[in-house]
Amino acid sequence: MSYDQDLAFQYTNPTKIIFGENSVRETGLEVDALGGTRALVVTDEGIVKAGLAARVEEALGRRYAGTYDRCVQDSGFHLVDEAAAFAREKEADILVSVGGGSVIDTAKGMAILLKEGGKLADYKGMQVLSRPQTPHVVVPTTAGTGSEVTWAAVIKDWDLNIKELVASYYLIPDRAILDPVLTAGLPAPLTAATGMDAFTHAVEAIHSIERQPITDGMALQAIKMIARFLPVCVEEGDNLTARGQQQIAATMAGIAFGNAQVCLAHSIAHALGALFGVPHGLANSIILPHVMRFNLEECPDRYALVAEAMGIDTRGEDELSAGKAAIEAVTALTERIKLPQKLREVKVPEEELAKAAELALEDGDIIFNPRPVMDAEEVLNILKEAW
């Protein structure tokens, strides 16, 4: 974990985090603290049917202005534009997103449009905003994306079939309310996949070229907690202690990668999601061990840290052997929580792998990978190994 005298970094973490069973009851008070008077709940139909949105609406009381419930997986620019128009009709001055990453990212896009106007496509790219945006409170119902504490929204251009980044430090949500009760009903496969999204965030923060001591601490603790508690969440879905620890770990991993960035695994996952609709956490879970193997000789010391955090006894082994043990442990973790191991299992067509490799090469996250990726053939070889 050594750093030399050239170390220089910036660290940002402005989100106030409220954790605890039934902490969703604090939503109204946090809206008040942010100066909101008309709060729009942003969510999806599944969250509404599960009764989770109603808990937030009740907590908002007199502050409740309405609910937008048309969010979908891989939210699109046109949907964000539609949602923002709905929010204007309701005269909302603050947003409360209730759901997973797509819901939260939709609300991030809405926060821009309520403040700046126009269409979300006008704000693609990095750091295009110059002032704080519409206040945003996040109530996550999954424990994986970390979007409740990050500065980016991943939005799909449904016409071009690609995922785009809308990113600014002004997009980091103001509040994150982590209530393990709201994740207790998440089915085991979704619990596993979203949990591995968080795990991938932590590992990529550890090996990113933008890594730093503060995010190392966050990421390694997240890896330790996820390795211990994610299997419990999958096997004992109503275990609120495990659910809570997984939530905290996912948020810590979000803070870590929000500062240290993610890398090649995410570039590939974005391509697989855009082209074939593979859920993001599931894509990360399948790809991560193969990307670690690709990177191993470049950063064995970092993967030795991952092995240690996962509880592997590597005393007496060199860093390369310890790194290999970490990769094996990641695979064992995904097998234990019963996630698919190959891309063919999630219906990725072999004949389309080259197209996915080309798209991944264009993804911005790839520049933070510890081993430089020079051409699409290198990515294609990883995809072939994972297929």
Report domain extents, the chain: 16-183, 188-386
Pairing of strands 162-167, 152-157: antiparallel
Q: What is the pLDDT of residue 160?
A: 86
Residue-wise pLDDT tens digits, 241-288: 999 999 999 999 999 999 999 999 999 999 999 999 999 999 999 999
Helix (H, G, I), strand (E, B) or coil at 347: coil
Query: Which option is the CATH number for 16-183: 3.90.1140.10, 1.10.10.10, 3.40.50.1970, 3.40.50.300?
Result: 3.40.50.1970
The per-residue pLDDT of the chain, averaged, comes to 96
* pTM, entire model: 0.96
Residue-wise pLDDT tens digits, 82-122: 999 999 999 999 999 999 999 999 999 999 999 999 999 99
Q: What is the pLDDT of residue 4?
A: 87
**Sheet order of strands, 162-167 included:** 125-126, 162-167, 152-157
Q: What is the pLDDT of residue 41?
A: 98
Residue 91: burial class (beta carbons within 10 Å; 0-12, 13-18, 19+): exposed
* Regions of the chain short of the pLDDT cut 70: 1
Tokens 């309520």: give the residue: 114
Alpha helices for the chain (secondary structure H): 27-33, 45-49, 52-60, 77-89, 101-116, 188-207, 213-235, 240-260, 264-276, 280-295, 300-309, 319-336, 353-361, 376-386
CATH architecture observed for domain 188-386: Up-down Bundle (1.20)
